[in-house]
Structure 1
């Protein structure tokens, strides 16, 4: 699903789950509740399934009236094809989260020591930020950082969001190995760097993101107007540690270049978060973001301790581009299917330069032009149609595309988002080449299976229903689950509109149910269990200690010491 964000809210939200602990294949991941509660390490098939989204355009759709087909064409915006770089990012993210938890095992005394130190620092918050590195320096960190740099529209954000949503966002722990273990774990948090590069605004975005997830009031408590930025950073650091955040993803990092004074401070904060507090970070930005790390070796090293992924456009002669275009070309909704000739291939690349979002939009706009062009009665996509579409409908991005097309370094400097380190790209391309054939073969095999056809319908329906924007209480995975249940219980030849009607009806019912659950007042017993136990003990004329111990809230001291 492309529309993964909640309507009216720029913060990506995932699922909330109760902890289910799984046996670990790797010894170092054992006896760590934060790791054991995660999904198993994903296979390449898992990633392939998540990224393979080919919208459904039926023969019936193609025979519809022109005005209907205009709407059908918008489904193509949801088209996503797995690329070698998606597998690379998934592997990095998977290890980043798990290895970051190695030194933050909540069963280990150093985890509690880290939280204790941060709590002490918060007590003297005026000067505490100066000593945070020194106070936590003796506690080891296994956290790494990752930077993903690439031109606008290449698919960085879409990819990282799809990968994050493969994990639950919040895991509620109750008991671990028959012992009480009340803890809330935030596996991932993604926020955007503010446009003005303000560190204060970033902190407030962080507090608000946690409030939206957990129903807390940290923004009100720590983010008021006259709050000193360094103090907010301390609270942000403390919350990140307390909730065991698995990875903090900061998108649009190039906005730091707009900061007047905070740029250096924010980069130092990312270093502290990863190197001292132990929270892995992923920094995502356009090519302009490379300037942030010039001249500061410490920051550059920490921002890419697990390597920097340079994400470039697809090359015209690459296997991944050829397969991408062939697959995209099948999503036509015209009276007559246009042949993908060598001339059209050449023109198409010339007009989009291998940038995925530009390619998809060019394909949609060219079909729209063919639909409403009276001189094109047969509705065929030709090289002339592609060139005219690019020139007239995509006029605003032509200066940037021309700079790329002509490899004009001087012109590229005017559009810093498209500058890429060519030496690093050569390395990245060599590393990825081996995956191209394997991804292509796997996709072709899946396109012919019944399961894929069901998956195709599920993805298309999920996207359309989420795009309605009327289900405020449902996260994308809620919609996907109910759609999957409907599609899998119906014959493959079922009418698409009938499935859609059932899905909307079910989504409305589930949305209402969740709305009612949210409005129910939380019982005092559920919110204050220790206070309720104390009151029960007093009613029975017993000391609260006895009841707390009987219920497992107090551990035997001798046993713990031994």
Structure 2
């Protein structure tokens, strides 16, 4: 029985190949797949293309209630504010496609040889010590992982960048020679709801069939008896047939450890598909997907491509990017009274949404709808933001309260796609050998994790530096620990060295001051001169009486200090 699967996929545009002759990288020349790929879009043009906002003018404020409520509904689907992270993502995607094609030139003999050998044999053989597969191809592809907070626009960001370039390029003639070939530049699919890797492979065939009009699903899906290795090898074969430039797998957190043959299987699949056949892959998912990396990467670290990158996205900090995003969103006002965005309003919005972009957009829409329905001057106030947030974001309040308190303890299961289990993530970051970039509120924790990874090396360098600059070992150890702990594992080595130098100078100054004091000539102690006593002082009377052989009573009676007992009778 054939397993039927469905999955969302992204459709782009198709074009006929036009070959560029301005390639600057020598290794990329004479490769029709690279020369047909358009030139990189510059930063300003990219931001202009990605930016999207619904049509708006001030007259919309004068429309009736129902029309304005309908206009507010357009914000969620039509608003897209580019951020600096989009530029970095675009660079990564563009470079991945070109670099991946470098090792898969269809004009090279090794590329043709792999079809004669068979992809199943190539898959099982893997790559040799020099990084070449059984056909002699040295894969040049890379893998990019985009994992993070739900609601931060990961999927939309990737899709917007992919759509800037053709999805299908059809070749006919290259350098005056017939070259009939279809080039599938990129393919984006989702993990199926059935959660199995076999279903993922089938979704791959179905997406290609719908885009290219082929029949790979019927040809290669077959029955449940196919082994995963065989299905994956066939998937690689199809990727080679269509000259796939980049595979994007979204919703990776749907892959189930039980139904996919163990948590290592997915990472093994991605690593082998990239290493053996050179297909670049981007995987996108929420924090629930972190289980894929917790143990898998540590177990099969050698299989991970050298160029493997990972980007972990957390909620936005209340800083420059937040001001850019909210300021752009704030322009879409449909209330009667225009409300200028103040720092108090911005801080209140951040407090209630904690920098989650998707929730920020939804809350802003709810606030305007509330103001319009309530009537009056329809002005947005901090009190109104808090009132609407209490109702609209009621289910998220327990989680957001943890964010506000800085609580990094394990959150409830239903929040796993929004907040990672920090102890696991922190341990993972410290062990990762590949390149990991973290943006948002987790970035400070990432910096701390990176430094903690080399904590002993850093402390040793600080200690040696203190000793070399004249501190005794005990004092050097105390100064080193003081400086490192004060940084909370966040300062870079140069900054720590500067702080340590100040401590060394202060310590040396104290020692020098003590030396200077101890070197001064000591003064002889002089005998204390007792003060002269008044003749009528009781002490003087007693002393003089003792000299004369008188008792204390006698001396005091003679001096008049002790009266007869009957004086007052």
Q: Would you say same fold, with TM above 0.5?
A: yes
Alignment partner, residue 88 of structure 2: 88
| 1:319 matched to 2:324 | no
Matches within 5 A, 1:484-503: none
Alignment partner, residue 337 of structure 1: 338
Task: Give the distance between the partners of 1:39 and 1:329, measured in 2 at CA.
Answer: 36
Shift of 1:64: 0.8
Gaps of 5+ in 1: 1-7, 123-127, 434-562
Q: Higher Cα Rg: structure 1 or 2? A: 2
Mapped contact 2:123–2:272 kept (Cα < 8 A): no
With over 3 angstroms needed to count, the CA separation of the structure-2 counterparts of 1:400 and 1:195, relative to structure 1, is farther
The secondary structure found in structure 1 opposite 2:170 is strand
Shift of 1:138: 4.0
The secondary structure found in structure 1 opposite 2:255 is helix
1:471-524 C-alpha deviation (Å, 9 max, x unpaired): xxxxxxxxxxxxxxxxxxxxxxxxxxxxxxxxxxxxxxxxxxxxxxxxxxxxxx
With over 3 angstroms needed to count, the CA separation of the structure-2 counterparts of 1:426 and 1:20, relative to structure 1, is closer
1:370-395 C-alpha deviation (Å, 9 max, x unpaired): 1111xx41111112221222221233
With over 3 angstroms needed to count, the CA separation of the structure-2 counterparts of 1:202 and 1:133, relative to structure 1, is farther
Q: Greater shift after overlay, 55-64 or 173-182? A: 55-64
Mapped contact 1:248–1:281 kept (Cα < 8 A): yes
Alignment partner, residue 56 of structure 1: 55
Task: Give the distance between the partners of 1:426 and 1:204, measured in 2 at CA.
Answer: 32
Q: 1:307 aligns with which of 306, 309, 312?
A: 309
Aligned residues: 417
Matches within 5 A, 1:82-481: 82-118=82-118, 121=120, 130-131=124-125, 136=134, 138-230=136-228, 231-262=230-261, 263-296=263-296, 297=298, 299=300, 302=304, 305-316=307-318, 318-373=319-374, 376-412=375-411, 414=413, 415-417=415-417, 418-419=419-420, 421=425, 428=439
Alignment partner, residue 502 of structure 1: none
With over 3 angstroms needed to count, the CA separation of the structure-2 counterparts of 1:426 and 1:92, relative to structure 1, is closer
Task: Give the distance between the partners of 1:54 and 1:140, measured in 2 at CA.
Answer: 44
Shift of 1:304: 7.9
Higher relative contact order (CA 8 A, sep 6+): 1
Mapped contact 1:200–1:232 kept (Cα < 8 A): yes
RMSD, matched Cα: 2.7
Mapped contact 1:196–1:258 kept (Cα < 8 A): no
Task: Give the distance between the partners of 1:9 and 1:174, measured in 2 at CA.
Answer: 31
Task: Give the distance between the partners of 2:194 and 2:8, measured in 1 at CA.
Answer: 16
1:310-336 C-alpha deviation (Å, 9 max, x unpaired): 2122111x1111121112111101111
With over 3 angstroms needed to count, the CA separation of the structure-2 counterparts of 1:82 and 1:303, relative to structure 1, is farther
Task: Give the distance between the partners of 2:255 and 2:135, measured in 1 at CA.
Answer: 27
1:354-382 C-alpha deviation (Å, 9 max, x unpaired): 11111111111110111111xx4111111
Alignment partner, residue 559 of structure 1: none
1:501-558 C-alpha deviation (Å, 9 max, x unpaired): xxxxxxxxxxxxxxxxxxxxxxxxxxxxxxxxxxxxxxxxxxxxxxxxxxxxxxxxxx
Shift of 1:47: 1.7
Task: Give the distance between the partners of 2:203 and 2:305, measured in 1 at CA.
Answer: 21
Task: Give the distance between the partners of 2:325 and 2:210, measured in 1 at CA.
Answer: 37
Mapped contact 1:136–1:277 kept (Cα < 8 A): no
Shift of 1:149: 1.3
Task: Give the distance between the partners of 1:211 and 1:381, measured in 2 at CA.
Answer: 50
The secondary structure found in structure 2 opposite 1:147 is strand
With over 3 angstroms needed to count, the CA separation of the structure-2 counterparts of 1:321 and 1:133, relative to structure 1, is same
Task: Give the distance between the partners of 1:162 and 1:107, measured in 2 at CA.
Answer: 32
With normalisation by structure 1, the TM-score equals: 0.69
1:159-178 C-alpha deviation (Å, 9 max, x unpaired): 00001111111111000000
Shift of 1:299: 4.7
* Larger helix proportion of the pair: 1
With over 3 angstroms needed to count, the CA separation of the structure-2 counterparts of 1:304 and 1:287, relative to structure 1, is farther
The secondary structure found in structure 1 opposite 2:166 is coil
Shift of 1:253: 1.3
With over 3 angstroms needed to count, the CA separation of the structure-2 counterparts of 1:188 and 1:132, relative to structure 1, is same
Mapped contact 1:343–1:383 kept (Cα < 8 A): yes
Shift of 1:402: 2.9
Mapped contact 1:148–1:285 kept (Cα < 8 A): yes
With over 3 angstroms needed to count, the CA separation of the structure-2 counterparts of 1:61 and 1:258, relative to structure 1, is farther
Shift of 1:411: 4.7
With normalisation by structure 2, the TM-score equals: 0.68
The secondary structure found in structure 1 opposite 2:15 is strand
| 1:75 matched to 2:74 | yes
Task: Give the distance between the partners of 2:355 and 2:45, measured in 1 at CA.
Answer: 26
Mapped contact 2:117–2:135 kept (Cα < 8 A): no
Task: Give the distance between the partners of 2:126 and 2:309, measured in 1 at CA.
Answer: 26
Task: Give the distance between the partners of 2:13 and 2:7, measured in 1 at CA.
Answer: 16
Q: Greater shift after overlay, 400-409 or 286-295? A: 400-409
Mapped contact 2:317–2:440 kept (Cα < 8 A): no
With over 3 angstroms needed to count, the CA separation of the structure-2 counterparts of 1:158 and 1:303, relative to structure 1, is farther
The secondary structure found in structure 2 opposite 1:216 is coil
